[in-house]
Amino acid sequence: MSTPVLDVRGLAYAYPDGHQALFGVDLHVHRGERVALLGPNGAGKTTLVLHLNGILSAGAGTVRVSGLPVEKAHLAEIRRRVGVVFQDPDDQLFSATVRHDVAFGPANLGLRGAELDRRVMNALEKVGMLDFVDRPPHHLSFGQRRRVAVATVLAMEPEILVLDEPSSNLDPTARRELADILRSLDVTVLMVTHDLPYALELCPRTVVLHDGVVAADGPTYDIMSDAALLRRHRLELPFGFDPRQIGGLTA
Domains (ranges, CATH) in the chain?
A: 6-245 (3.40.50.300)
Specify the amino acid at residue 74: H
User: How are the residues of the chain apportioned to helix, strand and coil, as percentages rounded to the nearest 5?
Assistant: 40, 25, 35
Output the pTM of the full model: 0.91
As beta bridge partners, residue 189 has: 34, 161
pLDDT tens per residue, the chain (251 residues)? Answer: 578 999 999 999 999 999 999 999 999 999 999 999 999 998 999 999 999 988 998 889 999 999 899 998 999 999 999 999 999 999 999 999 999 999 999 999 899 999 999 999 999 999 999 999 999 999 999 999 999 999 999 999 999 999 999 999 999 999 999 999 999 999 999 999 999 999 999 999 999 999 999 999 999 999 999 999 999 999 989 887 878 766 545 54
**Beta strands across the sheet bearing 60-65:** 20-29, 6-14, 60-65, 68-69
Q: Which runs of consecutive H residues, i.e. helices, occur in 86-169?
A: 98-108, 113-126, 142-154
